[in-house]
Amino acid sequence: MKLLIVTAVEEFQKDVLNLFKKANIENFSSSDIDGYKNGSSLLMASNWFSAGKRGSESSLFFSFTEDEHIDTLFNLIKEFNTNLETNNPLKAVVVPIEKFI
């Protein structure tokens, strides 16, 4: 069993849910998050007194799942990302689990 983590901008939330379904990942959790890119122009423009730029509304999904489902999902995400017209690809990581109850 491994921990799968996927992040996506809000516009792709339904797409991620469909990819999870295609990969037979039935049990997962999600959370709304703000995503940021640390570009030099953003860092120079930020200060205590400016309104500051808010992060992109994003989603974080995670699931404790088996390798076979993860492999399928990674292939689906690679295919999804190759067809994007934006600079906001889906991101995914896998973390091994040493113990669980």
Q: Using pLDDT thresholds of 50, 70 and 90, give the confidence band for residue 31.
A: very high
Q: For the segment 34-84, what is each residue's pLDDT rounded down to a tens digit?
A: 877 775 554 444 444 445 556 778 999 999 999 999 999 999 999 999 999
Cβ neighbours of residue 7 closer than 8 Å, sequence gap 6 or more:
33, 35, 58, 59, 60, 61, 90, 91, 92
Q: What is residue 99's predicted lDDT score, i.e. its pLDDT?
A: 87
Average pLDDT, stretch 80-91? 93
Fold of 2-36+55-96: Alpha-Beta Plaits (3.30.70)
